[in-house]
Chain A
Amino acid sequence: MAYDKLSCKEILEKLSEYIDEELDPSMCDEIDEHMGDCPPCVAFMNTLKKTVKLYNTSGDEVDIPSPVRTKLHDFLRRRCNEEKE
């Protein structure tokens, strides 16, 4: 697909899609080319990637506390019954 060369602004707008591998391969090549010659953009992209990775690996699930679960089910049993009547 032919398109105009990406501007620096467009490259910065597309970095997340690049990281998430959601970009057209030719756009990725263009971003790679830009990165080869621009240390601040490389550092920015690497720290953005690390930000994403930190959040990807930090999401522990807590168990729903037993009293919260009990209250939820009691509440639903009561209110759903009222709905039926």
Chain B
Amino acid sequence: MSSESRLEENELIRRAKKGEFAAFEELVNMTEGKIYNHLLRLVNNPSDAEELLQETYLSAYKNISSFKGNSTFSTWIYRIATNHAFMLFRKRKPELPIDELPLPTHEELKRREIRDWDFDPADAAQSGEVREILSEAIGELPENYRAVVLLRDIEGFSTAEAAEALGINEGAVKTRLHRARIFLREILSSHFAPEELAAMEGK
């Protein structure tokens, strides 16, 4: 973010804190597209994303006085949006599993005859079929891992920004990201390298 747009943002926040709706609405205009995309990817359902979008910004309006400017307004809104999405997940699945996703062992990699995929990922990502596989794989991730991958690998957040947006520490971001990527690699591998031996015995 340029220093000029940061100044503009600070001015809008100052006015929004005084209760000026037009200034708050301008902040909504600046962030709503990204937040809508984030929510849609996270909950994978347009009507839930729409409802969460409304709750997110209403909550932001009510709590704008607590925004201290330690992060950008956008990161702050990501955090509110992600919190609301997790409240929805918990409401629907109160017993949300907290199992850690596994890491492979060195012996397992040797035994499984892992081979490289023979394509260029930037080219492959242009294919509709591949995009569908990528999106389905993301949908299979447990939600707390999905949120990290979305922010880091799709939306381009740094580790520090993702930590801020999720309200967790940077170490937890790194751990979850790594395990999530390995989980995704396993699913993609079943499509791109079906001859690779499966991760689990008997799978």
Using CB atoms, name the residue of chain A closest to B189: A47
Q: Are B106 and A41 in contact (CB under 8 A)?
A: yes
Q: Are B53 and A68 in contact (CB under 8 A)?
A: yes
> Which residues from A are CB-within-8-Å of B203?
none
Q: Are B58 and A55 in contact (CB under 8 A)?
A: no
Q: Does B90 contact A (CB under 8 A)?
A: no
Using CB atoms, name the residue of chain B closest to A63: B33
> Which residues from B are CB-within-8-Å of A51?
181, 184-185, 188
Q: Are A53 and B184 in contact (CB under 8 A)?
A: no
Q: How far is the CB of A19 from chain B (nearest CB, A)?
A: 8
Tell me the bound Cα distance from A49 to B105 in angstroms.
18
Tell me the bound Cα distance from A56 to B181 in angstroms.
12
Using CB atoms, name the residue of chain B closest to A57: B125
Tell me the bound Cα distance from A61 to B166 in angstroms.
21
Name A33-70 residues within 8 Å CB distance of B: 40-44, 46-48, 50-59, 61-65, 68-69
Main secondary structure of the interface of A (DSSP, over half): helix
> Which residues from B are CB-within-8-Å of A27?
none
Using CB atoms, name the residue of chain A closest to B135: A58
Q: Number of A residues contacting the other chain (C-beta, 8 Å)?
A: 46
Using CB atoms, name the residue of chain B closest to A59: B154
Q: How far is the CB of B40 from chain A (nearest CB, A)?
A: 7
A47 and B36 in contact, given A12-B104, A59-B154 (Cβ under 8 angstroms): no
Most buried by A among B40, B54, B104, B112: B54
Please give the residue numbers on chain A whose beta carbons come within 8 Å of chain B beta carbons, in ascending order: 8-9, 11-13, 15-17, 20, 22, 40-44, 46-48, 50-59, 61-65, 68-69, 71-73, 75-77, 79-81, 83-84
Please give the residue numbers on chain B whose beta carbons come within 8 Å of chain A beta carbons, in ascending order: 19, 21, 24-25, 28, 32-34, 36-37, 40, 46, 50, 53-54, 57-58, 61-62, 103-106, 109-110, 112-117, 119, 121-122, 124-125, 130-131, 134, 138, 149, 153-156, 159, 174, 177-178, 181-182, 184-185, 188-189, 192-193
